[in-house]
Amino acid sequence: MIREYFVAKPRNQWRVIVEGRQHGPFSSDEAARRAAITYARADAKAGAAARVLVEEHKGMLSAVYETGADRSDDHLPSP
């Protein structure tokens, strides 16, 4: 199973949302992305797969980072 980290701006504050929990707020989308990628890299080091998805437009998500359970390198470039 892939743990997904969502970078979104609910109530006009940038947050990282994972498994129903919100982290933040962050000062910008870039700060929230960096935090989400840091969390995903920690998962990869622990042997788990992770993906960072960013809400580009209302309801439109883009994957910006992904690791596999069997790999610790990036599948997508980090921002």
Domain ranges of the chain: 2-67
Helix, strand, or coil (residue 50): strand
Q: What are phi and psi of 71, to 5 degrees?
A: -140, 150
Nearest to 76 by CA among 60, 57, 52: 52
Give the mean model confidence (pLDDT) for residues 18-40: 96
pLDDT at 56: 80
Could you identify the residue written with the tokens 């990282």?
16
pLDDT at 55: 84
pLDDT at 76: 52
Whole-prediction pTM value? 0.81
